[in-house]
Amino acid sequence: MEGTCALCHNYSDLLESHRIPKFITRSIKKHSFTKRLRNASDPNKPVQDSDKDYLLCATCEERFSKKETLFNQKVLQPFRSKRLTSFNYDEWLYYFITSVSWRTLYYDVMEADQLLERGFNEKSIPAIKQAEQNMREYLLGEKKFLENIDNHIVFIHEENVLNNSSYDYSTFCNGAFGYLYGQKSTGSLYVLHVLAGIMIVSIIKKSPAERWKNTFVKMEPGKIKSTQIVSSPVIGELEYQKEQIAKAMKNMSKSQQEELIKKIEKDPEGFLKSSSAIKYKKQ
What tens digit of pLDDT does each residue of 109-145 get?
A: 887 778 877 878 888 889 999 999 999 999 999 988 8
What tens digit of pLDDT does each residue of 227-276 get?
A: 999 999 999 999 999 998 888 888 888 888 888 888 888 888 888 887 87
pTM of the model: 0.92
List for the chain the helix, strand, coil content (%; round to 5): 45, 25, 30
| pLDDT of residue 44 exceeding 90 | no
Contact in structure between 100 and 64 (CB atoms under 8 Å): no
Q: What average pLDDT does range 29-33 have in this prediction? A: 84
The fraction of the chain above a pLDDT of 70, given in percent, is 96
Integer Cα distance of 105 and 139 in angstroms: 13
**Strand 11-18 versus strand 37-39 pairing type:** unpaired
Give whole-number Cα distances, 163 to 124, 211, 234, 235, in Å. 25, 9, 10, 7
Task: Fill in the amino acid letter for 268.
Answer: P
- pLDDT number for residue 49: 64
Integer Cα distance of 145 and 141 in angstroms: 9
